[in-house]
Amino acid sequence: MATVSITFDSTLPEGSRGSLGCGAINLEWFNDSVPINEAENRLSGQHNILVRVGLHCAPIAHKTIGTFPDGTVRLSMGYFNTLEDIELAVQAIRRIANA
């Protein structure tokens, strides 16, 4: 199973170049800011994609990567997800980030 955490603002530390190598991806180059709760609502309500938001029981990790106190949007892909499912999720994230 693959898990990816994303943000839609500039919460990651300066110089991280969009990723810290731990699955956290910052999409600040698409949009000024989309709060993670709003991103969750759009992914769920408009695209039927279920995600988890917040600190994911790891507040110290979020302090380390600079996403505390809000956390991230977390997507998990499992055995039954298809490449089409993943492509639809990527497209939905792009739409939200470009809004």
- Domain span holding position 40: 2-98
pLDDT tens across 7-28, in order?
877 544 555 554 444 555 555 5
Instruction: Determine the Cα–Cα distance for residues 89 and 74; give it in Å rounded to an integer.
Output: 12
Q: What are the CA-CA distances from residue 30 to residues 34, 68, 74, 82 (Å)?
A: 10, 21, 18, 26
**Residue 30: both structure tokens together:** 């698409």
Q: Helices (DSSP H) in the chain: which residue ranges? A: 36-47, 59-65, 83-98
Q: Does 51 have pLDDT greater than 50?
A: yes
Q: What is the tens place of the pLDDT at every residue in 30-43?
A: 446 788 899 999 99
pTM of the model: 0.74
**Overall domain count for the chain:** 1
pLDDT per residue as tens digits for the range 57-81? 999 988 888 888 989 999 999 999 9
pLDDT at position 62, please? 86
Query: Which CATH number characterizes residue 87's domain?
Result: 3.90.1150.10
Residue 84: pLDDT above 90? yes
Selected residue with higher pLDDT from 99 and 91: 91
Instruction: Indicate the helix (H) or strand (E) that contains 55.
Output: none
> Judging by DSSP bridges, how do beta strands 72-77 and 24-26 pair with one another?
unpaired
Sign of the alpha-carbon dihedral angle for 91, 29, 40, 42: negative
